[in-house]
Amino acid sequence: MDAAPSPNASGARIAPIAATHIDSFHRALDVVAREKKYLSMLEATPLPETREFVMGMIAKGNPQFVAVIADEVVGWCDISRHFFPSHAHRGRLGMGILPTYRGKGLGRQLINATLKAAQEAGFARVELDVYEDNSRAIALYEKVGFTREGIIRRAARIDGRFIDAIGMALFFDES
C-alpha cells in the first residue's frame, strides 16, 4: 500500500500499518478487547501472534490502516481477504479505536482509507458483524455504504450474556 500518511483535525495520521506499529497496535487492540463490548476477542492475542497477523496482512496485500498520534496507534481498520479461492472477492472488516479518541472522526477516516485500498486491491464485497447494541458503529457503517443483511442470534457470549449481531456488507460494484 503506497498511500501517504494523512494528518487530520485530531492530530492523528492515517497510514498503512507497518512493522514499526505492531507493538503499539497490540496495546491498542488489548485495550479495546478488554472493554468486552466491541470485539470478539476479550484480550489481544499474544504479541508474537499479533506480529504474525500484521506481517501476514502486509505480505498478502490486505488493507490495514492505523491512526497514529505521537507514534502510538490509537485506532485501526483492516480487511482480511477470505482464504478460499471461490470467496477471494470477499473480505472481513475489523476495526477499533481507543476510548479517548472516539467521536473525533477517526473511525470514518480509517474506514474510508481501508475501503479505498480494498477496492483498489480488487475486493468486490466487504462484510462485517457488529453487535446490535453498538449503535455508533452501525451508524458509521451505514454512512459509508454498508447495508444490513441479517441478524446473527446469540453471536457472542460475554460474561454469561448473549449478544446478537447484525451482519452487514458493502458491494463496490453497487456503489
Per-residue model confidence as pLDDT tens digits over 89-136: 999 999 999 999 999 999 999 999 999 999 999 999 999 999 999 999
pLDDT of 4 over the 80 cut: no
pLDDT of amino acid 132? 95
Q: Using the predicted structure, report yes or no on whether residue 3 has a pLDDT greater than 60.
A: no
DSSP structural state of residue 141: H
> Is residue 3 classed exposed, middle or buried when 0-12, 13-18 and 19+ CB atoms within 10 A define those classes?
middle
CATH number of 6-125: 3.40.630.30
Query: What's the pLDDT tens digit per position in 40-80?
Result: 999 999 999 999 999 999 999 999 999 999 999 999 999 99
Instruction: Say what the pTM is.
Output: 0.90
Instruction: Sort residue 42 into left (φ over 0), alpha (ψ -120 to 50) or beta.
Output: alpha
174: confidence class by pLDDT, cuts 50, 70, 90: low
- Note the pLDDT of residue 9: 47
Residue range 152-169: average pLDDT? Answer: 96
Q: What is the pLDDT of residue 10?
A: 65
Cell 499479533 appears where? 50
Residue 8, pLDDT > 60, answer no
CA distance 86 to 94: 21
Cα separation, 110 vs 100, in Å, equals 16
